[in-house]
Structure 1
Amino acid sequence: MALFSRRKKSVDQPDVEPQASVDTPVEHAGTPEAPAESVPAVGISVQAFRGVGAEAGPEMALPSEEEGAATDAPVAARPRSGASTDLPAEPAAQPVPRLPLAPAAPPEQTHTVDGLVDNVLLRVALAELEEGAGNDQLLGVMRQSLQGHLYLRVHGDAREQISEGKPLSVGVIRDGDRSFMLAYSSGAALQASVQGAEDAAATSAIAQPATSVYQQVITGGFTGIILDSSSAPHRAVFPVELLQKALDQADAEMAVKTLLAAPRDEQTPVRVAEALAKKRSWVAINDGSGGQPVGIAEARTTDGRRFLQIFSHPLEVVALGRKDQPMPFEPEQLAKVLSDHDEIAGVLVDIAGPSIAIEREDLSAVLVLAVDLGDD
């Protein structure tokens, strides 16, 4: 967690004071940022998750080489800069996926206000929203919000409140019995919320992991959360039920997504493989339409090598806009599939981006699980 305390009325040049990472309680009686009439309508409900992340079914087999790929869209949905493999682009005739996609490579760390590092993936996903955005687009924002940090606007000195063991007095919008925590993807979005506010000089900001913020919304009795509240139409409102559903299906540490969104080096594939060996992932199962065999989705490179598609969260499957259904996959199941299919060259993780292709030689942390199963 990083803390940014502002002593000036303007947020153009905030003083930056990083603090140790701690879990911070949130005071429900935070300072309202805006009158009730400015509360946006909740445009998405937990029903948008219907059919996403079903319970694990029977073991699904990969189709044989003769049967062909297990999905009708086995390659990236559009060209991606910095891709880790030579996957070709999907033909232009294919429909554009409904949710915002991202390049394969992680974004460069940037800031729209000096000293405040933006959550670039979330900022870009919000920027694609338009007035009246549908559930599909909002789920895309939710997908990209599950890694990285969010900024909370705090009334008073956040550093002082933490040192004294007090709950943070965070920005809240109230509408009768409803209350929404406010959080921001970037320094610019935070700056927009402070502009013209009477208490601007007494405002500070704190950065916390997005999943930690969502958990605080759930446990704090809030109705939901508003991301970038002053940036309409590039803002999103998520009810608490949706946050609970997303976290129920997520790895608490978001280990894979965090690695994919961070700067990479030659050891990144190994680290991602180690995370896959410890955490449940997801696979995409097709519905058998068009005469295809029911099986796990895979991708093929231009030279014919086969990569199993793996996903860190069911929303990563939904993001592709295909008819595939996400199914939870334990590390031991992944190990068995790879062990039983020597022709599989590796795995392709979170193809909607940021993504990474991991060769079999870097998957030893997963493959050893199949050896252990055999010993049992």
Structure 2
Amino acid sequence: MALFSRRPAATPAETPEGASVDATSVDDAVVADATSDVDAAASQPSEVADDEPDFDAVVGISMSSFQGLGAPAPAANGSAEPSGNDGVDTPPRSGLQDNGPLVTALAKLPERPEPAELLQVARQLLQGHLFLRVKGNAKRMLAEGENIPLAITTIGEKQYVLVYSGVAALRASLAADGATDTSAMAQPAQAVLRFLLSGTYAGLIVDPASAPARAMLSRELIAQMMEQADPEFSIKKLLAARRTESTPDDVVAAIPSSRLWIAVNKPDGSDQVGVAEARTVDGDRLIEVFTHPIEIAALGRGDRPAPVTGAQLGAALRADPGLAGILIDPAGPWIRLDREDLAPLMVEAPGDGD
């Protein structure tokens, strides 16, 4: 496996396997004229009487009875914690946590985002959690076995699921529609995306009342993203969660059973395919490893994804003592794993040296 370090000028990002990205943000007039609606099990969402949704009633409950969203809600500190080991700079807060990486990506959107800018939002939808608005008290409805009325909007003949990155976006939505009796529900992002694909929704709108920090993503793009994603989202969940001393060991333990990719390309004037490396300011060489092909596309370097296994990463590290380790998802949230961390992967299995 040849390794090289490359940082060419950015080129237009490609979407996973040619999936299209809607290159426009949600138009104010479209949102204002859209018909508020709900799925077949729901009625129109509304706003609480005071100035904040009833988060306390819904965070942390199991959602096994909710429209096929079978995963438990994230812990109260479920967003990524800023540290020297990730790419998130959202300050920590007590209680309910925003989806920090998604908030950051949305905040960078201009009024009319380009496809490459929307890719940054799309990739952050694959980790952490999203918030949903529900008419009434979600905890009570779950306890009584009722269906959950989710907020959606109808644009023309298409229905879009409305999701939120955090408390500020929810407040903006409540202020915009002036409804009452709303609660909020935190759900793992991948569970929300699976729910969307299980119905006939045309896509989703993120933070609809937070222009320009909002985005519309098509069903086609979401379907392609989910098809290529690791089924368990094991490493993405670890990278989006609050970091602890055990996080590096947990990530290494998850590598053998996870779907991972490396970025490959042919350097100019060479017939040999190389694997992208990162170099630190101290000169350390790190193999760049990715949890999803969209992470490679979002870098805009023109690289192509190639699947890689834990065994192959271990073999590459054994073969090249000059490699200091790996860097997972360099666009963030990221984690660096050094050779010491990766020792379990570097153990040569019987027959590997034949």
The reply to whether residue 9 of structure 1 matches residue 49 of structure 2 is yes
Name the amino acid aligned to 1:251: D
Partner in structure 2 of residue 161 of structure 1: 141
Q: Report the CA distance between 1:106 and its aligned residue.
A: 6.5
The reply to whether residue 23 of structure 1 matches residue 64 of structure 2 is yes
Tell whether the 8 Å contact from 2:55 to 2:183 is kept in structure 1 after alignment. Answer: no
1:311-350 matched pairs, under 5 angstroms: 311-350=290-329
Q: Distance in 2 between matches of 1:227 and 1:302?
A: 37
Q: Per-residue CA shift, 1:143-184, capped at 9, x if unaligned?
A: 122111111011122112222323311001013431001010
Q: Report the CA distance between 1:291 and its aligned residue.
A: 4.1
Tell whether the 8 Å contact from 2:53 to 2:184 is kept in structure 1 after alignment. Answer: no
Query: What is the aligned length?
Result: 296
- The change in CA–CA distance for 1:139 and 1:105 in structure 2 (over 3 A counts) is closer
Task: List, as ranges, runs of 4+ consecutive aligned residues in structure 1 with deviation greater than 6 Å.
Answer: none
1:60-139 matched pairs, under 5 angstroms: 83-84=84-85, 104=87, 107-110=90-93, 116-139=96-119
1:256-335 matched pairs, under 5 angstroms: 256-291=235-270, 293-335=272-314
Q: Distance in 1 between matches of 2:246 and 2:134?
A: 38
Q: TM-score, normalised by structure 1?
A: 0.71
Q: TM-score, normalised by structure 2?
A: 0.75
- The change in CA–CA distance for 1:108 and 1:255 in structure 2 (over 3 A counts) is farther
Partner in structure 2 of residue 222 of structure 1: 201
Q: Report the CA distance between 1:104 and its aligned residue.
A: 2.9
Q: Distance in 1 between matches of 2:241 and 2:98?
A: 13
Q: Distance in 2 between matches of 1:346 and 1:270?
A: 14
Q: Per-residue CA shift, 1:273-297, capped at 9, x if unaligned?
A: 1111221211010233254842111
The reply to whether residue 239 of structure 1 matches residue 218 of structure 2 is yes
Q: Report the CA distance between 1:346 and its aligned residue.
A: 1.1
Q: Report the CA distance between 1:307 and its aligned residue.
A: 1.4
Q: Report the CA distance between 1:342 and its aligned residue.
A: 3.2
Q: Distance in 1 between matches of 2:351 and 2:98?
A: 43
Q: Distance in 2 between matches of 1:15 and 1:211?
A: 20
Q: Distance in 1 between matches of 2:246 and 2:216?
A: 37
Partner in structure 1 of residue 352 of structure 2: 374
- The change in CA–CA distance for 1:303 and 1:122 in structure 2 (over 3 A counts) is closer
Report the more deviating stretch, 205-214 or 258-267: 258-267
Partner in structure 2 of residue 174 of structure 1: 154
Q: Distance in 1 between matches of 2:122 and 2:108?
A: 13
- The change in CA–CA distance for 1:14 and 1:165 in structure 2 (over 3 A counts) is closer
Q: Report the CA distance between 1:250 and its aligned residue.
A: 1.3
The reply to whether residue 352 of structure 1 matches residue 331 of structure 2 is yes
Q: Distance in 1 between matches of 2:177 and 2:281?
A: 56
RMSD, matched Cα: 2.7
Report the more deviating stretch, 333-342 or 183-192: 333-342
Q: Per-residue CA shift, 1:186-212, capped at 9, x if unaligned?
A: 111111111153532x21111101111
For structure 2, the 5+ residue unaligned runs are 1-45, 69-81
3-state SS of paired residue (1:195)? helix
Partner in structure 2 of residue 362 of structure 1: 341
Tell whether the 8 Å contact from 1:229 to 1:235 is kept in structure 2 after alignment. Answer: yes
- The change in CA–CA distance for 1:193 and 1:326 in structure 2 (over 3 A counts) is same
- The change in CA–CA distance for 1:359 and 1:11 in structure 2 (over 3 A counts) is same
- The change in CA–CA distance for 1:338 and 1:220 in structure 2 (over 3 A counts) is same
Tell whether the 8 Å contact from 1:151 to 1:208 is kept in structure 2 after alignment. Answer: yes
Tell whether the 8 Å contact from 2:317 to 2:346 is kept in structure 1 after alignment. Answer: yes
- The change in CA–CA distance for 1:15 and 1:229 in structure 2 (over 3 A counts) is closer
Q: Distance in 2 between matches of 1:353 and 1:188?
A: 22
Q: Distance in 1 between matches of 2:192 and 2:351?
A: 38
Q: Per-residue CA shift, 1:95-147, capped at 9, x if unaligned?
A: xxxxxxxx635644337xxx542111101111111111111101100112211
